[in-house]
Every structure is written in structure tokens, then in C-alpha cells.
Structure 1
């Protein structure tokens, strides 16, 4: 249970005098986390740093007000940095806006068509394999920025050039290469040390901010010859409205496919992040279709002003929840603070070395390359989900983001093969008495049935006792199993007793997630 939930009795709504101070404090924390990430992700995407800040402003003020997940924070995401870099390299910066407008429109239509729950049916193996691949590409690309260079056009080229970059370092001198490396190492070291030894009293101070401050102070005090980020004098100068000719180019099928890919990946990352945020608190649950529509509005606006694409982002969202946020006001205020900072203190941003932001992104990217999830998949569900993770990971690194995701999703279809003759699933829900209900699943529980299952699970009460009867299940794939596990953990945190009958199919697997 979060700090916010702990201060009020179950069923009691906190008053405005309780909500505002907590949201105000949480918004400051999220602002401090968001500032270096917005700039760093923009630089990693191959666009000016201020465009990431514009996305952060829109994600806070506009999407924060419209969001279906009140405690989720939206802004530029590391998960899209690779695909944006490719768009800019292949089609030019001017085409990013039109692609985002179309991608946002697709999201808006998908939300209106109530397709939000279908994104939850994407295999966790595909999602985490994609994120791990993105993490490797971010680390490989930003590694070169640490040496005062620019990232190469492709991830494999970045990986292949790493030995040469290391060989070119002359520790006896302090040229621009060694100076940039020193700033990057100090930034990374500060983040890691702070996260390991941070005092409890300062647990809300983000390591990324501290790392950027340390790298900037080093470069300033020693007057190091390093590249600094470029920020315009006025926030309006960061706005680049696409022209009619740019929109006309969207008739190119390749650009339309790119827009669809951006919409798909941004939506999947957003809704999976929203599901994770729901597991962190006991307040209002996410309305997935509303969240999808809000993201569509946000990305259309980002496209119209030439900013970066946005998603709901788990790092900023978890910081929001942990800081005690109680409503959407925290996300909105964090966008206001970014706007105020960019408008009033652009000179301060221009002191930040590019290598310091690269250091932040190296740490961020490395955290995405988590082997814990693939170990979990193998130990709990066997070889196939682990292979799906591995194939997605390899293809994202070796080819591109869209190809990797499509390969992973194609492999996920193999889980349907044993159930091709019996794909039907029945889901029943009934009240057994006061504060007591039952959910019964009969048939094959595969990812194609997850929207139906999720709809019933989401409608289950957050009090009393719930019986989950899976005795009629003939199969349970890892996507549905993970969704049920997350639901069970959420109910346990909310104080709901979930009971599995002794002879339930797959009962041992589900009991490990917290059911009785």
C-alpha cells in the first residue's frame, strides 16, 4: 500500500486539504526525475533536447488532465528513442511531426473503438524482450556520446565501434574525448552510488538528477572542453510546426507503416505501464480505453509542434506513486514546473554537458536489459516463453524495433497450436453473498481471450472475499497466467481474500502468486 493509501480508511475519500499538499510534493519529485530524462531521451533520439521537454510539458498538462490512469505520468520514453532515431536518420526531422499526428490519430480511434484491453494481451515475453533490446541499443549508442562522438546509424554499428572507441582513449591527456568520458563516468558513478547508499531521509531525491548535477559541476569547475546541450532562448523557438508538404509525404506506404508501428509500440508500453502502476496503489483503477485516447491526443499535439512521441512511463509513474501522489493533479503540476523551468531558466540547461545526459541514459538503458524476467519465464512456464523473449531481443538489436516485435508476436502464436481445436473460453461471475463473489473460468485461457478475462477481473470488488475457480480450465498460457498473477497480487495488497478451490487446475502456479 502506498503512502497515499495508508492515510485514509478503506472506502473513505480523502479531502482536498489532504490531496493537494501530497500532489504538490509528488509533482516536484516527478519534475526532478523527468527533467534529465526528457532531455536525455531527446538527445538519444537524435533531436534537440528542448523537444523532449515540450513532450514532457504536453504529457503533464494535457495528457495528465485527460488520462484514464490518474497516477501515471506521460512523457518521452526510452522505449521509442531507437525508432525515432531511425525516423530522423531515414526521413529527416521534419517528418517526425506528421508521423506522430497519424500515430496519435490511430491511438485516438483505437481508444474510441475500445481496443485498449487488447494491448494487454501482448505477451510479457515480447514486451520485456523488446525493452531489453532497446536497452542494449541505448547503451551502445550513448556509449559513443561518452567519448565525445555521435551515435552511428544502426545498433550493430554502435556495438562494433565500441572497441575502437576504447582504444582511442589517451589517459595521459585531457582532450575533448577524455573530458567527455570523465563527465560521463562521474555522472554514472554518482547515480549508482546514490542509489546504493542513499539515506532514507533523501529517498525521493532522484539519482538521475544528482548525476547530471555532478557531471555539470565537474565540467564547470574544471572548465572542461565538452559539448553542451543546445537550448533556445525561448520555449516558442522549440516549436516546429510541420508544413503542408510534410503531411503530403504521408501518402508513402512506408511512412504509414512507421506511424502504425509508433502507435502500436507507444500504446503497448503505455498500457503495460498503467497496469504496473495499478499494482502499486489501491486507488482508482486505469480506464484503458480512456488512457489510450488521451495518449492519442497527446501524440497528435506533439506531432503538430514537432516534439517527441510520448507514452506512459513507468520510471516517472513509480516515482509519482512512491512520493505519495493521490490524484492526476501531480502529473499536471509536473508539466507546469517543466514549462516554468524552460521558460525562465534556459541558461541553466545550456550548462549541462551532453556526456552527462548520456551517462543518465546508459544507466537507464542498462536497467532495461534485465535478465530476471527471462529467468522468471523459463522457471515458471518453460522453454517457449523464454525463446520468445530471446528472439524478440535478438531481432530488435540485429534489425529494428518493429521487426523484433513482429517476430516475437508471431512466435507467440505457437502457444495456440495445442488449443486450435478447443479455443473456446467461458468466463462467469456471480455474487455468492454479502461481500462474497465467484469468478469461474472454463476452457482454454490463451492470450486471445485475455480481453474477456480482464474485463471480468477488473469488475471484481475491492473488498470482501473472491473465489477464483479454474477447475474447468484445460490450458493456461503464460500471458494469461501473468495477468492472473498480477491481479492476485493487487487484490492481496487491497486486503481482498482470494480463494482457489483445492482441486483447481493450475492452482499451484496461481497460489505462488498469492492466492489462498
Structure 2
């Protein structure tokens, strides 16, 4: 696990600084104490990270569960709520044993990309007030509505009014601008100049500069108040750490509401995890495929541990996972190490953490949000046609104006309607016409219409192809090929070179040996019309 430590250690530092504000923010958005989110982050990194089969996925407190968690805590009380978290973990392990992980393959890539983009937009919108030192509420709430009764638009209007009137925090804004400049310079210029700039990451430099700024500007008129700094609890050494923990009250097992809450948390957490797994695998430059049933087992184990020691529910989370990928993480060591960083920081340097300006963390999250919601993504989805763009944009609107789960649900509903509209009456999607064990030649013919509903079966067939074999893929009868299937073929072409599998693509335009890009080929062929 540690053979890529030179890549994973710097990535874990970045993930740590991304996870810290999110852990704090999600806990408060869930109506819980800040330490509960940090506990979930530690468990998600160390326990889930070690048990997971994902090389680059990172787990922690679940933003998509914030509303459900807040309601459950209000109805049950925190100690009783922890019992439901433990039972939710047991439920997830049962789902993994019964191989329910396949459900994640039934979500179209347009919805997954919309989820990524929507989260990126929300991150940017939610961090704008912190960038200017205006909103003193904890950051990280992913829902459109905030726990203080404000919403995204009213918060942004407050920022605009403050900027016009000059009634914003100049110190917080100055260090945020400096941090943003450092991040852009580091990412676009310095990171290409040598190994030192790759090992020492821009976010770490920005945080250090932010702490230095805090000390240098004291009593200068541009100083930062305590309201604009990170606030984590300070234990009395390692022995005092147990005083920060809360334990479940198992006498609540007689309360039927516990089981309803546990089922809801387990189901939603599993769905959110599987969607993030699908999204993370798409972002992975090495095209690794995460074993979903093992992931459910890992998440269930994490929720059992988190519930037993007072933490919030955990899922795999795309913000931390994408930050891990973008920072060069290669194996799950980066997730595990980031969990230890969270633990060590609580025990040893809470006073240092409490010197980090929130506006610096906002600048870091701006960059993460932009990478998730690049304008080029909108253009690419628009160019893919209305059947891809409409579910994509619906998912984004739902996430930004309601919350994560609503956005995914609306996007999926639109995607299903479009597929049913296009694929009504077609039941066969893949025909394996012959296999000669002796010479390793396999012929596969795609049906007239192939949609994202067929992703799981096609993935299974392609993954089971033996090494050193020969695949003849016939698409002459195919008139509609979903973009998800094209992406699967694109990923398979990458993996086929590693497994020494030769591919012959037979189409109406002729025969192509070992095509370099299925995406480019089908883009020219226009199979979606």
C-alpha cells in the first residue's frame, strides 16, 4: 500500500486540508458538535480507507445526509441517533454480502457528471462569503437551505451589499486573494518546475502563509478576528481525547424509530457511496475499477465504528476523492494517512489548527470547485446531444437549488424517461456469438440499441475476457449507442493494452484494428441519432 508514498504523502496533505473544513461544516449543518465530523473523517480515512478496495476514494462525513441526520438527531437525541448509525453500518454490510453494489451501474454518466459539476458549483457559492470574511457560520453545508434560515442567494446578496458598502473584512479578503494567487501560481507554473514544488503542495503553502499573516497583522487594522479562524476543540493531551467522545445508548433498541432511521441512513449512504465510486472511477487517470460490494462492506464497517465512538455517518465523498486524484494520489495510502493527520492534529496541534484563516480554506475550496465544474464540461455535455445535456443540467439545477439527493433523483428521472423514450421495445443489447477456447478469439455483436441500463452486463463481459485474447467487436447493426457504453469501451481499450487483448472493430465504415479512441470513432459515426 505504501509503494507510491512519494505521490500519496503530498496528496494526503492536500486531502487533509480539504477534509478539515468540510468535516467541521458538515457536522454543524447536521446539528451536531464539530468534533463529531472530525471523528467521522478520522474513521473514514483510517478504517474505511484500509478496508476499501478503492485506490483513490476518500471517505468522511456525508454532506448528502446532513438533512436526514439533523432530523434524526432532533427526533431521537444524539446518543440514540448513534445506535441508528451502528445499525446502518450493519445494514450496509448485509448489502455487500448480498452483492447489492451493482446498483451503482444503473446511473447514467450524465447524472454522475452533473453531480460532480453541481457539487463544484455549490462549493464555490458556499465559500464566497468566507472568502470575504462576511458569513461567520461554519462552512461546508451542501444544501441550498442553511441551518440559520438563510439560503445561497440571500447569502450572496449579503456579500454583494457588503462589497458595495465596503462593510466586509479587509484582512480576510487580503489573505484569501494572496492564497488564491499562491494556489494558481503553484498549480499552473511552479508545479512544473521541479520535484520540490510537486512534493510541497500549494494548499499547504497557502495555509502556512495564512497563519503567518495572522501573526504579522495583529493590531494593524487588517488583523483577523477569532470568528474568521478555524475552531476545533482542544483535548487535554491524549488521555483527554476520550472526553470528546460520545457513546450510543443501546437501550434505545426498543424504539421502532431507531430502525426506520437506520434503514434510511444505510440506504441513502450506500447510494451516495456507489454514485461517488462511479464518479471517482471516471476521474481516475489509471481507470481502476472499485469493487462495489467490498466498498459497501468497508463503509458499513466504518459506520459501525463511527457510531460506537460518537461520529457522524460516513460515505465515500467526491470532493475529497477528486482532491486526492488531482493531487496525484496513487493508492489508498493517501486516504489512510489523511485520517491519521486528522487524528494527530486534534491531539497535538489544535491550537495551530485554530490559527488557520477560514478565507484561506475558502480559496482552496474555490480551486477544488472549479476543477469539478469547468466550463469545458458544460460544452462537452452540450456537444454530446440533448439526451446527455438535459439530465446533466437537471441534476445540476436540483443540487444547487435543493440538495444533493434531490438533484440526483431529478436527473435520474429525466435520464430514465429519455432512455425509455429511445429504447422502448428493445430487450437484447449484447450477443456473444462464439468463443474458441483454443485460439482465444471471441466475437461480440452489439444490438440495435444499447443504453446505460446495460452497463453492468457489458462491464462483466469485458472484464472476464482472458489475457492474450482477440476480441472482434461488431457494431454494424447498432443504431443507438449510449454515451455510457462508449465510455466503457474507451476505458476497456486502455485496459486491453495492459492485458494484451487485441481488438478488431467492425462497422459499416470498415474494419479498424486496435482503435485508439472509441469516443472519436463514434463521434464521427454519430451513433446516437
TM exceeding 0.5: yes
User: For residues 307-318 of structure 1, what are the structure 2 equivalents within 5 Å?
Assistant: 307-308=311-312, 309-311=314-316, 313=318, 314-318=321-325
Change (3 A) 1:240 1:271: farther
Query: Aligned in 2, Cα 1:288/1:356: closer, same or farther, shift over 3 Å?
Result: same
Q: CA deviation at 1:26?
A: 3.6
User: For residues 164 and 379 of structure 2, what CA distance do their matches in structure 1 show?
Assistant: 40
Q: 1:154 aligns with which of 128, 145, 155?
A: 145
2:525 aligned residue: none
Deviates more, 1:92-101 or 1:413-422: 92-101
* 8 Å CA contact 1:27, 1:334 repeated in 2: no
In structure 1, C-alpha distance between the alignment counterparts of 2:475 and 2:362, rounded to whole Å: 49
**Cα 1:447–1:172, aligned 2, differ >3 Å: closer, same or farther?**
closer
The equivalent residue for 2:213 is 218
Q: Give unmatched runs, 5+ long, in structure 1.
A: 1-18
Are the structure 2 counterparts of residues 88 and 232 from structure 1 closer, same or farther at C-alpha, using a change threshold of 3 Å? farther
Deviation of the 1:351 alpha carbon: 1.8
How far the C-alpha of 1:220 sits from its partner, in A, is: 2.4
Q: Structure 1 residues 506, 178: closer, same or farther in 2, change over 3 A?
A: farther
Question: Does the 8 A contact of 1:241 with 1:305 survive in 2?
Answer: yes
**2:298 matches 1:294:** yes
- 3-state SS of 1:30 partner: helix
**Counterpart residue number, 2:245:** 239
- Aligned counterparts of 1:324 and 1:260: Cα–Cα separation in 2: 29
Output the CA distance in 2 between the equivalents of 1:355 and 1:409. 35
Are residues 1:392 and 2:395 paired?
Answer: yes
Cα distance, 1:397 vs. partner?
A: 1.7
Residue equivalent to 1:75: 59
Question: Could you state the TM-score of these two structures normalised by the residue count of structure 1?
Answer: 0.80
1:39 shift after superposition = 0.8
- Rounded to whole Å, the distance in 1 between the matches of 2:241 and 2:468 is 48
Cα shift at 1:329:
5.0
List per-residue Cα deviations over 1:93-134 (Å, max 9, x = no partner).
Answer: 938745644553443233222122330221111122123222
Give the Cα–Cα distance (whole angstroms) in 1 for the partners of residues 377 and 495 of structure 2: 19
- CA–CA separation in structure 2 for the residues paired with 1:254 and 1:286: 28
Give 1:88's aligned residue.
Answer: 70
Q: What's the Cα RMSD here?
A: 3.7
- Cα deviation digits, residues 318-361 of structure 1 (max 9, x gap): 267x3554xx5554444344433433333322221223223322
Question: How many positions carry a matched residue from both structures?
Answer: 485
Q: Deviation per CA, 1:420-470, whole angstroms, max 9, x where unpaired?
A: 212223342735655654444335322222211111122224555433233
Q: Determine the structure 2 residue equivalent to 1:410.
A: 413
**Residue of structure 2 in register with 1:33 after alignment:** 14
Secondary structure at the residue paired with 2:106? coil
Aligned counterparts of 1:435 and 1:486: Cα–Cα separation in 2: 21
Q: Distance in 2 between matches of 1:379 and 1:230?
A: 46
**In the TM superposition, what is the alpha-carbon distance from 1:405 to its structure 2 partner?**
1.3
Name the residue aligned to 2:526.
none
**How far did 1:285 drift?**
4.9
Q: Output aligned runs, 1:328-343, within 5 Å.
A: 328-329=332-333, 331-343=335-347
- Distance in 2 (CA, whole Å) between partners of 1:121 and 1:220 is 52
1:458–1:299 distance in 2 versus 1, CA, 3 Å: farther
Where structure 2 has 5 or more consecutive residues not aligned to the other structure, the ranges are 523-529
Counterpart mapping for 1:6-405 below 5 A: 20=2, 22-47=3-28, 50-69=35-54, 71-76=55-60, 80-81=62-63, 83-84=65-66, 87-88=69-70, 91-92=73-74, 94=78, 97=82, 100-101=85-86, 103-146=88-131, 147-149=133-135, 150=137, 154=145, 157-169=151-163, 177-200=169-192, 201=194, 202-223=197-218, 224=223, 225-227=225-227, 228=229, 229-233=231-235, 234-244=240-250, 248=255, 250-251=257-258, 257=264, 260-274=267-281, 276-277=283-284, 279-280=285-286, 285-308=289-312, 309-311=314-316, 313=318, 314-318=321-325, 322=328, 325=331, 328-329=332-333, 331-380=335-384, 382-405=385-408
TM-score w.r.t. length of structure 2: 0.79
Output the CA distance in 1 between the equivalents of 2:37 and 2:204: 16
- For 1:463 and 1:52, how far apart are their aligned partners in 2? 48
CA distance in 1, matches of 2:248, 2:509: 57
In 1, the alpha carbon distance for the partners of 2:334 and 2:430 equals: 40
